C-alpha cells in the first residue's frame, strides 16, 4: 500500500475493499494529469486526505485554470480555438475525479462502470457517471504569458486518458 494513494477508510478505519482501488486510481489519474503541468498529486499528505474526508465543504480535486497554473486571459488570440475543447475535456475528467473522490465508498463506481466512462471520455462521448462536482470551484490565477504548454498539454491529457483506458481494458 502506498499511503498517499490510499482511500480514507483504509487510513482511518483500516478497512479495505475492492472499491478502495477506485480512490487509488483517481489519485494516480489526477497525478498523471497534473504532472503534464508540472504539478504534484491529488493529496500531498495523509493528513490532507483525512482532512478532506472529514471536511464535507472541501470540493473534490478538479482540473481548473488555477490548478494548471494558467489564466484564461493569458491564452493568445491564435490559441483561443483550443479553449472550449480543453475546458470540455476538463469538465468530463472532473466528473470522473469527483466520483472517484467521493467520501462514501458506497458511492464509488464499480470497475466496469469506470472503464466504460473512460472509454466514453476517450471517444469524446458524454459520460454516464453521476456529476458530483461542486459548482463554481474554478477561480482565476494571475495572468501568465507562456501558454504554449496549454496547447501541448491538451493532447497529453487525451493521451493519459487513452493509456488509462488501455490499462483497464488490458485486465479483461
Domain boundaries, the chain: 3-170
* Predicted confidence (pLDDT) at residue 14 exceeds the cutoff of 70: yes
* Predicted confidence (pLDDT) at residue 82 exceeds the cutoff of 90: no
Q: What confidence category does residue 80 fall into, taking pLDDT thresholds of 50, 70 and 90?
A: confident
Longest dimension (CA), the chain: 52
Q: What confidence category does residue 136 fall into, taking pLDDT thresholds of 50, 70 and 90?
A: very low
- The per-residue pLDDT for 64 is 82
Contact 111, 22 (CB under 8 A): yes
- The per-residue pLDDT for 160 is 60
Alpha-carbon gap, residue 95 to 77, rounded angstroms? 29
Residues 6+ away with beta carbon under 8 Å from 65: 71, 72, 138, 139, 140, 141
Averaged pLDDT, 134-146:
40
Q: What's this model's pTM, rounded to 2 decimal places? A: 0.74
The cell numbers describing 62, all together, are 478538479
Could you please state the CATH topology (level 3) that the domain comprising 3-170 is classified under.
Transferase(Phosphotransferase); domain 1 (1.10.510)
Q: What confidence category does residue 109 fall into, taking pLDDT thresholds of 50, 70 and 90?
A: very high
Amino acid at each position: 500500500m502506498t499511503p498517499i494513494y490510499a482511500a480514507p477508510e483504509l487510513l482511518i478505519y483500516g478497512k479495505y475493499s475492492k472499491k478502495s482501488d477506485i480512490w487509488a486510481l483517481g489519485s494516480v489519474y489526477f497525478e498523471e494529469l497534473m504532472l503534464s503541468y508540472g504539478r504534484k498529486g491529488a493529496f500531498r499528505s495523509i493528513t490532507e486526505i483525512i482532512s478532506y474526508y472529514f471536511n464535507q465543504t472541501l470540493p473534490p480535486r478538479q482540473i481548473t485554470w488555477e490548478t494548471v497554473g494558467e489564466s484564461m486571459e493569458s491564452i493568445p488570440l491564435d490559441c483561443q480555438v483550443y479553449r472550449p475543447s480543453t475546458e470540455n475535456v476538463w469538465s468530463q475528467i472532473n466528473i470522473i475525479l469527483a466520483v472517484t473522490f467521493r467520501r462514501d465508498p458506497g458511492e464509488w463506481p464499480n470497475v466496469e462502470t469506470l472503464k466504460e466512462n473512460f472509454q466514453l471520455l476517450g471517444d469524446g462521448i458524454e459520460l454516464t457517471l453521476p456529476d458530483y462536482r461542486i459548482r463554481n470551484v474554478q477561480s482565476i490565477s494571475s495572468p501568465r504569458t507562456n501558454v504554449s504548454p496549454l496547447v501541448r498539454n491538451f493532447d497529453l491529457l487525451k493521451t493519459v486518458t487513452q493509456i488509462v483506458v488501455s490499462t483497464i481494458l488490458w485486465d479483461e
